[in-house]
């Protein structure tokens, strides 16, 4: 698939016509990066943004005690690296590939021109930054006010509603991240996540399905457990 076809599938550029997509394609360089590689390193200077054409990345930082804190998982069609590009400060986090990935890389000078020419792209970029800020604030609030099991219940509800559809019986078929990735997002240990998930399975809230991480989730029951916390 050519660059224009791949860019057409990116929500940020959805409103653009052929000619506009072609001009972005001409400004972008395509980069293939294998799984588990660092694409962006925290504290490095950065003057370009990445659009994920294929694959998935983890945005993370390290706490003072050396624990990895996962701020977000971003997939195909999403973007990262816009923060340093906009505020001209060093990179705010590490971005690592979770799968073999393909990116379109756009330099500051070209993107700034594009944002000025296409206010609709600026608006979408701002909207996505607002969505991420809300999500980060919500996680921070949960970490400071909830115990680990309730953080996990809230995460599972968000995850199911965002990434899957309910079955006829109201339960959601979803694929969960690994226990370590869940722990790194919820500021806890993998053992605590494994224990909580085992308990949820015993209670029938989670049912393990065939395939790695595949689960049937009773979101309604999780919501009740959250209401009663």
- Given the complex with ligand CMP, which of 91 and 171 has the nearer CB atom? 91
Least distance between ligand CMP and beta carbon 72 (Å): 4
Can you tell me the distance from the alpha carbon of 137 to that of 182, in angstroms, rounded to the nearest whole number? 17
- Given the complex with ligand CMP, which of 48 and 118 has the nearer CB atom? 48
Q: Output the 3-class SS for 43-102.
A: CCCCCEEEEEEECEEEEEEECCCCCEEEEEEEECCCEECHHHHHHCCCCCCEEEECCCEE
Least distance between ligand CMP and beta carbon 226 (Å): 23
Whether residue 14 contacts residue 78, with contact meaning beta carbons closer than 8 Å, is answered with: no
Least distance between ligand CMP and beta carbon 105 (Å): 12
Can you tell me the distance from the alpha carbon of 26 to that of 160, in angstroms, rounded to the nearest whole number? 38
Can you tell me the distance from the alpha carbon of 117 to that of 122, in angstroms, rounded to the nearest whole number? 9
- Given the complex with ligand CMP, which of 116 and 131 has the nearer CB atom? 131
Least distance between ligand CMP and beta carbon 29 (Å): 17
Residues found near ligand CMP in the complex (CB under 6 A):
40, 46, 59, 71-72, 80-84, 91-93, 95, 132, 136
Sheet with strand 56-62: strands edge to edge:
38-40, 94-97, 56-62, 68-75
- Given the complex with ligand CMP, which of 133 and 229 has the nearer CB atom? 133
- Given the complex with ligand CMP, which of 93 and 217 has the nearer CB atom? 93
Whether residue 165 contacts residue 172, with contact meaning beta carbons closer than 8 Å, is answered with: yes
Least distance between ligand CMP and beta carbon 184 (Å): 13
């Amino acid at each position: 698939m050519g660059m224009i076809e791949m860019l057409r599938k990116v929500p940020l550029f959805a409103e653009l016509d052929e000619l506009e997509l072609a001009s972005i394609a001409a400004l972008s360089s395509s980069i293939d990066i294998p799984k588990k590689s660092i694409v962006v390193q925290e504290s490095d200077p950065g003057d370009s943004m990445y659009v994920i054409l294929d694959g998935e990345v983890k945005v993370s930082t390290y706490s003072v005690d050396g624990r990895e804190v996962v701020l977000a998982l971003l997939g195909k069609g999403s973007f990262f690296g816009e923060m340093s590009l906009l505020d001209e400060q060093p990179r705010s986090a590490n971005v690592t590939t979770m799968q073999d990935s393909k990116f379109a890389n756009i330099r500051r000078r070209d993107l700034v021109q594009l944002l000025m020419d296409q206010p609709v792209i600026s608006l979408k970029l701002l909207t996505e930054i607002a969505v991420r800020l809300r999500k980060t604030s919500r996680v921070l609030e949960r970490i400071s006010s909830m115990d680990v099991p309730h953080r996990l219940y809230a995460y599972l509800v968000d995850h199911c509603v965002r990434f899957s559809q309910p079955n006829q019986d109201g339960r959601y078929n979803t694929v969960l991240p690994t226990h370590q990735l869940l722990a790194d997002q919820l500021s806890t240990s993998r053992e605590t996540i494994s224990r909580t998930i085992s308990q949820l399975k015993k209670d029938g809230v989670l049912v393990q399905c065939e395939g790695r991480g595949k689960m049937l989730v009773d979101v309604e029951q999780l919501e009740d457990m959250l209401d009663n916390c």
